[in-house]
Structure 1
Amino acid sequence: MRFALIMSEAFTGLRRNISMVVSVVLVTFVSLTFVGAAMLMQMQIGTMRDFWVERAQVAVFMCTSISTAATCANGEAAPEQVEEVRVKLAGEALGPHIREVVFLDHEAAYRELLELAGEENASVITPDQLNETFRITLVDPSQSEVIIEAFRGMTGVEAVEDQMQYLEPLFSALTIATYIAVGIAVLMLIAAVLLIATTIRLSAFARRRELGIMRLVGASNRFIQTPFILEGVFAALLGSLLASAAVLSGVFFGVDRYLRNRVEFVTTWVDLGDAWLVVPVLILVGVLLAALSAGFAIRRWLRA
């Protein structure tokens, strides 16, 4: 009976303040959608980083006849210099750090370029103008500096490049986007908390006579406060469920049905499994913030 009365009071308060409740639902929905988007973006960044770091290579470019680097003063790298690099990569110092070495001679580099740029560019460049290249996959990609230092300044080597340096700007841009989403989400959550507190105070003010009677007949503060807290929790829960639905829909339609088929250089995307991991977090954050905000607001009002 006591539980039924508390629930009845809570739903009565929701009906009386329907416009404010809708505002709470919408603000909670928007703010938690940004929270979910930020979490998924961070998951995506982590997934992409793991995928590319695992496959990132260090490239050792041998000198060509048109190279201008100081180490290429003698022109194209001689076969002895190419062999020296090969032996050094297989040596005791570097060998344990290397998982795989792929060597591209002029012809192989030329064929690869034509596959990327198209056969119509065959007359623009000749094979001898392309670098013979050692592509090195490391056991631990974070140790790329070991390879770079080993061949930097070596005669016959034009340049040594770590492919991760080209991906870092992308990861940095995505991280900044995540921070922006988090910032917007925090501002919206603050707005939701303040709106919930205001809604609870207005609801308490509208029922001040009933609350006075309840106090006179000996109702405990907990019994009086609980319906108001439930009002905030119900509104925030509805907003959380809407945000969860938006996150799941965004992943299903935006990622699985759209981006996965159009952005080919990204082969690993967040999926619905990741989205379902976010859903409990959104619901917990929404309900917890609402309960704390409503509880604080009604306690202050009752003490006033």
Structure 2
Amino acid sequence: MRIGLVIGEALLGLRRNLSMVISVVLVTFVSLTFVGAAVLMQTQISTMRAYWGEKAEVTVYMCSPLSTSPNCIGGEASQDQIDKVEQSLKGDALAPLITSVTFQSKEDAFQDIVDQLGEEQASVIGVDNTSVDFRVTMKDPQQSEVISEAFGGEAGVEAVKDQRKLLDPLFSALTVATYIAVGVAALMLIAAVLLIATTIRLSAYARRKEIGIMRLVGASNSSIQTPFVLEGVFAALLGSALASFAVLAGVRFGVEGYLAERVPFMRPLVGMQEAAFVVPVLIGIGVLLAALSAGFAIRRWLRT
């Protein structure tokens, strides 16, 4: 079987069904772009969860003069209560679970409020009305509940807050967006497969006389089928290439260019290295689906 002749027949078939081929290219492009976006979004979620999970702190807030918690009936936490919490955090029971404990004074806490709200609004609260707290970094972030259980009902402790829980809504929203992208990609891939099969059948019908002659002269089924399979593969390959370019451009200009500057808290972000890993996956999916759908379509047509 001459390779040049087979490729020439495939290109001829593409020209004969140009409108259908363009449809296949566009549908493949859109569907694989969604696939690439879904893969990168899931990678982003995993990267952020691992990064922020290690850095997230559990904060034990002591009672301030303005606290209304049931643990703060006696008003502001006394020095004895503060010392008791500190000794417990550094005691033998919790020390194996904790990486570090940082004490934040009223002055430090007030400065945080100034940084967040501005000096004018922070002055309404005042230094004396702020609370001291302990910032705890866990060796295993999954065990942060231990701190909440140990100090949640302790006298003088207003609240225990786990920063990881503040990030859970963000991760959940990103996960939902990933599922939506996967769902849309799956529907578009099904449409691409059906379009490829239809294109191959139309091409075979248009060349039915040529196929009949090839059968009469003893051509094998593989010789007849290969040009049609290549038609689907060429169209899907072009769509995959466009999808790969769209993913690379999206990461380069959308993630590294836009999000990195305007949404700094989302670091670390996926980059061109992760996008480059997705490219061969997209091309492989496109070529494989095209080859399978085109091969199935032409075999069924030849049997009729």
- Distance in 2 of aligned mates of 1:122 and 1:194: 63
Structural mapping, 1:201-216, within 5 Å: 201-216=201-216
C-alpha distance after superposition, 1:247-288 (max 9, x if no partner): 001111111111111112222111101100000000000000
**Residue equivalent to 1:164:** 164
Letter in 2 for 1:54: E
TM-score when normalising by structure 2: 0.98
Structural mapping, 1:148-187, within 5 Å: 148-187=148-187
C-alpha distance after superposition, 1:50-97 (max 9, x if no partner): 111111010101111221211111111110110011110111110011
Letter in 1 for 2:104: L
- Correspondence 1:268 to 2:276: no
**Residue equivalent to 1:144:** 144
**Residue equivalent to 2:197:** 197
Matched residue pairs, number? 304
- Correspondence 1:124 to 2:148: no
Letter in 2 for 1:83: D
Letter in 2 for 1:255: V
1:128 to partner: Cα distance: 2.5
Q: Give ranges in structure 2 of 5+ residues lacking alignment.
A: none
**Residue equivalent to 2:106:** 106
SS of alignment partner, residue 32 of structure 1: helix
Letter in 1 for 2:133: T
- Distance in 1 of aligned mates of 2:226 and 2:92: 71
1:122 to partner: Cα distance: 3.5
1:123 to partner: Cα distance: 2.5
**Residue equivalent to 2:4:** 4
**Residue equivalent to 2:293:** 293
- Distance in 1 of aligned mates of 2:218 and 2:303: 16
- Distance in 1 of aligned mates of 2:211 and 2:35: 37
SS of alignment partner, residue 93 of structure 1: coil
Report if aligned partners of 2:65, 2:130 keep a CA contact under 8 Å in 1. no
Report if aligned partners of 2:113, 2:122 keep a CA contact under 8 Å in 1. no
TM-score when normalising by structure 1: 0.98
Q: Give ranges in structure 1 of 5+ residues lacking alignment.
A: none
Q: Structure 1: which 4+ aligned runs deviate by more than 4 Å? A: none
C-alpha distance after superposition, 1:130-157 (max 9, x if no partner): 2211010111101101111111211111
C-alpha distance after superposition, 1:87-109 (max 9, x if no partner): 10111110011111111121110
Letter in 1 for 2:21: V
CA-based RMSD: 1.0
SS of alignment partner, residue 148 of structure 1: helix
